[in-house]
Amino acid sequence: MKRAADDLGVLLCAAPIGAAASAAFDGARLREDFPILRRTVHGKPLVYLDNAATSQKPQCVIDCEARYYCELNANIHRGVHSLSQQATDAYEAARDTVRRFINAARREEIVFVRGTTEAINLVAASYGQRLKPGDEILITEMEHHSNIVPWQLLCERSGAVLRVAPIDEAGELMLDGFEHRLNARTRLVAVTHVSNALGTVNAVKRIIDLAHAKGIAVLIDGAQAAPHIKIDVQTLDCDFYAFSSHKLYGPTGVGVLYGKAALLEAMPPYQGGGDMIRQVTFAKTTFNDLPYKFEAGTPHIAGVVGLGAAIDYVSALGLDAIAAHEHELLAHATEQARAVCGLRLIGTASDKSSILSFVIDGVHPHDVGTILDDEGIAVRTGHHCAMPVMEHFHIPATVRASFALYNTRAEVDALFRAVRKAQRMFVDGRSA
């Protein structure tokens, strides 16, 4: 008997989700769900504060992927044999999970890709084919390179022009400047929901409404939002929304492009190959229905199934509870940062997600990162693939601590003990 997709999801992901099932949010207890947090680095307990780069994975996600390979592994959408059908059911069940997670109207609007980067490249390559010389694409000064370079490449191909809306000294988008740049030539707006370098949460609903008032389509880069903010693509009314599994406690190499069905329907395929076709002859090929038209070749099946498990895990906790915990950590960290003499916060927007970027007078961010690593503390240092943001603040790099559901106040305290140690070593010339 053919197993229903939902049963299969349960079969694959039936692992107890540990503390996630408990009612009260307890960041310290949730740590037990994440095996990597038990390890040490340089003999010290790992303090993982590089979650904006990638998050750690709960045991249920790891188990779900392993169980997929142990029990179901087969190629999807192509076999009459049971394994292929069950693998297909598990893969398609994950699509339903994603649909519910972002409240898309239809499952056909969920396209699995490799990550946010590929999602944006897909839109640039496919939707972008309608752009003509002189058309404009509007982005902001705070974009990740993934939401800059694909548009630059498209501009080179099409003769379109890339325009950039400015940010202010707090790292907030200047909405007047944004609105001012929307005009009759603008064909697409592409904006990040949350800045990975600053933590700024953009007023995306307002941005979308402004663009739609002029009939302009909007893509939202949700890479840094999906793990922290409840997303409802129907309420937002965005045309495209992109995010990555690996920042959402899921596997690497998987991501999601949401697109409104009517837009996706009208777009040409991104890549050609197996599974995306209906019929192939040497004379003419016709393409598959949505979303398969955009999923050429064998996808990362286990990764997609693992993403489904990650979303189940996050949903059991509730994004509101996760966000409240992370905001508390951010507030605590911001207070500690303000107490460090010579430390400058980069990104002081009134609405911020759980990212704290800073520089310290007289100490290069990479040196801070090295001292922190000696203490077992993982942060990212550098330009965070947002070089124009660094240029705006006239700095080469920042130290960035980014928080997730499993981080604790004690870890924030450890971070600032180590920051002060770095300052003593490099500024005062004292060792520890």
Position 196 contacts ligand 7TS (CB under 6 A): yes
Label each residue of 258-290 as H, E or C. EECHHHHHHCCCCCCCCCCEEEECCCCEEECCC
Taking the CA of residue 277 as centre, how many other CA atoms within 13 Å lie in the half-sphere pointing to its CB?
A: 11
The correct pick among 121, 146, 381, 398 for binding ligand 7TS (CB under 6 A) is 146
Least distance (Å) between residue 280 CB and ligand 7TS: 30
- List the catalytic residue out of 13, 60, 238, 385: 385
Give residue for tokens 């990650």: 310
Residue (352 or 421) nearer to ligand 7TS, CB: 352
CA 318 to CA 263: how far, in whole Å?
Answer: 31
Pick the stretch among 61-69, 142-150, 230-238, 364-372 that binds ligand 7TS (CB under 6 A).
142-150
CA 398 to CA 360: how far, in whole Å?
Answer: 9
Residue (88 or 353) nearer to ligand 7TS, CB: 353
Pick the stretch among 86-94, 98-106, 218-226, 229-237 that binds ligand 7TS (CB under 6 A).
218-226
Pick the stretch among 57-65, 175-183, 219-227, 274-282 that binds ligand 7TS (CB under 6 A).
219-227
First to last CA, the chain: 67
Applying CB under 6 A, what is the total number of residues that bind ligand 7TS?
A: 17
The SS3 of residue 62 is helix
Position 148 contacts ligand 7TS (CB under 6 A): no
Cis peptide before 268 (omega within 30 of 0): no
Position 384 contacts ligand 7TS (CB under 6 A): yes
Integer angstrom CA distances of residue 126 from 33, 269, 373: 40, 6, 42
Position 221 contacts ligand 7TS (CB under 6 A): yes
Q: Which of positions 68-127 make contact with ligand 7TS (CB under 6 A)?
A: 115-117
Asked if 155 is an active-site residue, the reply is no
Integer angstrom CA distances of residue 364 from 396, 413, 422: 9, 21, 10
Residue (186 or 196) nearer to ligand 7TS, CB: 196
The correct pick among 86, 88, 202, 224 for binding ligand 7TS (CB under 6 A) is 224
Give residue for tokens 């299969």: 8
Residue (186 or 192) nearer to ligand 7TS, CB: 192
Sign of the dihedral defined by the CA atoms of residues 6, 313, 25, 103, in that order: negative
CA 398 to CA 411: how far, in whole Å?
Answer: 19
Residue (12 or 61) nearer to ligand 7TS, CB: 61
Active site residues: 385
Which residues of this chain interact with ligand 7TS, rule CB under 6 A?
A: 52-53, 115-117, 144, 146-147, 192, 196, 221, 223-224, 244, 380, 384-385
